A and B are shown apart, each in its own frame.
Chain A
């Protein structure tokens, strides 16, 4: 993957991340270099190899489906950038 094919505006949009034109230029070039380095993974034959998502063989860890105390409402709102009436304030979503 060369830097030219790397559409940084599109990826930044997917990441919901505003970048300045300078950042786009600098990050684009650096990521081109990193992706070039990562290319070496293509040398390897991985046919038949199972992927590892986690090094520990634990699956479907669940707890009993019981009601337990959770973070109190006020504590959950304490760090909110904007709140009122026990709710988070957000920009208008529905017209």
Chain B
């Protein structure tokens, strides 16, 4: 049952040599063998390689290396958008063919340097475009709490693997909510760091001004540990910020007396599920009980977030995905001339959602429409960012639901892209503003099983948004909440 442990609990056992890293990896592999046919969190994994890494970790642990390296012997799985040397990388797409990464992403280098056992390719929406992990060329991932439902997306494999105890922790990427929303829907912790906090080198780019890599974990302390490992300036990413990395875990004091939390009035929208609202209201009361002060705030341009996002993200994606042309890597469909080769390769290689976004992004950047769409969206982005910076003059963090509903049914929104986009309404602005955000478990639906529209028992996520480089404060608030609740301890019967 080592696979069920947190990073901190497993580390304690590893350092004392009560258990070996090999046993820890084996228990994750056993769990994958047992449940992943139902969940399909992993596109692939290499058991021999993971066990070989475990043996190397065990040798070091025997020498007493556990104290210096924060993740020594910890199995961490990664989303299929991050380069791991000599492992396949597909971004959930057909177009990369049999691509094998020639180098490690910076975050992967850092995980390895900290002693982690980096294993597995976690399923995702193709090129991280989606909110349900239904857009993968490798099949859908199912929510461990109810396998007829989606796990969220685009990091659905990462969230499902952590929730189903198939990995101790995972990495995902978040462009408009792709870490936080699946974390909420699967009942785990998901952190999107401030833009520039974590190097994007070796992350396949979707929307370069919005993408960040972050951890999905079983509790807040683990999120703090993972963030501490992967953060920091990197000369290979010109947008990474030379800002010192604090000891995030050391700041988890449990004391949030006097901190001010903002409740944006614009987030109480129609379409917000009543049970989600009740859970968030209860969490707000809990924060008050812990001594935080609740302040109503306004983020007046909230309503424009989805529009701005789907212009900027698709514009950047259309440029970033131009590199998948069948020339230097990946799959190729031949043509008589280069243009025909590009068109055929891309037509055959990309799935429907990726095509939709490339077309939209190309259109908003095209001659005659640039000012009306792209430039205007960039200006409204400034207004959205200013809303947040102004709010943060009054409050230390902002509290919202992560997602307006719990996990929806597989297929429910797959034919209606706009409805799918609107499911990201609470998470999108955070990326546009470049601030940090975290989703933490705050309850379950199905608390009133006798009512007419009774929902099954599904996790609900609470989102905390913080100032640029305010991860320390976010984690401290989230941790204080976690100390006083038991939501994060609950496991789904599907995977026990």
Contacts and interface: CB of A to CB of B under 8 A. Distances in A.
Interface of A: 6, 8, 11-12, 14-20, 23, 27, 30-31, 33-35, 37-38, 40-42, 44, 46, 49-56, 58, 61, 63, 71, 75-76, 78-82, 88, 90-93
B363 interface: yes
Chain B interface extent, by class: 35 or more
Contact of B363 (A31, A33, A51, A55): A31
Contacts of B103: 71, 75
B318 interface: yes
Given A50-B382, A75-B102, A31 B338 contact: no
B383 interface: yes
Most B Cβ at <10 Å: residue of A16, A37, A71: A16
10 contacts: A16-B343, A17-B350, A23-B355, A34-B417, A49-B383, A53-B209, A56-B241, A79-B100, A80-B328, A81-B332
B383 A17 contact: no
B362 interface: yes
A86 B336 CA distance: 22
A38 B239 contact: no
B437 to A, nearest CB: 13
B363 A37 contact: no
Interface string B295-328: 0000001011011101100000010001001111
A41 B328 contact: no
A53 B385 CA distance: 12
Contacts of A61: 238-239
B46 interface: no
Given A15-B359, A31-B356, A79 B99 contact: yes
Nearest to A56: B196
Interface of B: 97-100, 102-103, 195-196, 209, 235, 238-239, 241, 301, 303-304, 306-308, 310-311, 318, 322, 325-332, 334-344, 346-348, 350, 352, 355-356, 358-360, 362-363, 366, 372-373, 375-383, 385, 417-418, 421, 432-435, 468
Given A18-B344, A79-B328, 10 more contacts: A8-B359, A11-B362, A27-B355, A34-B417, A40-B304, A41-B380, A42-B376, A63-B235, A78-B100, A93-B337
Given A40-B304, A56-B239, A56-B434, A49 B350 contact: no
A61 to B, nearest CB: 4
